[in-house]
Amino acid sequence: MPSFRNERKVPHSPVAMFDLVADVEQYPAFVPLCESLTVRQRINGDGGVMILVADMGIGYKAIRENFTTRVTLDRPRLRILVEYVDGPFRFLENRWAFRTGSDANSCIVDFYISYEFKSRTLGMLMGAVFDKAFKKFSDAFATRADSLYGTLPPRS
């Protein structure tokens, strides 16, 4: 099963980075392959946790797919869990964790995703594209953070 993990230090606070990743409705503006994203349900959970059910449309050249996920936004722990609900995957899980870097003005962003397409053909067509896109995810989120929060380097 394909998976990808990336840990990256950025010059923004863990809370700022959590908020950026949690704002899923903005993904079509900057996330590779994401063409649309609609939150169809918001559920306030216990202890500051919110659960979203979201539909995402992805595309590359002539290939278009839609899928549904359950997104658990755990603000107190600065963690996000994305779980597959419906669509072209057999399995999809995505985890984000945000922790303070070497100083209070930086953050270590831990990104992990594991997935498998139901269709072997679609997996062959999209697998290499997904791998390249996931490698660009951290850049896309870091660039978005810089545009929203500024690009001052962290203070030591």
- What pLDDT, on a 0 to 100 scale, did the predictor assign at position 152? 59
- What pLDDT, on a 0 to 100 scale, did the predictor assign at position 59? 85
What is the set of domains in the chain, with CATH numbers? 3-149 (3.30.530.20)
- What pLDDT, on a 0 to 100 scale, did the predictor assign at position 156? 42
Q: Which of 62, 85, 61, 70 is nearest to 24 (CA)?
A: 70
Which residues in the chain show pLDDT less than 50? Answer: 154-156
Sheet holding 49-60, edge to edge: 3-10, 107-117, 89-100, 79-86, 63-74, 49-60, 34-44
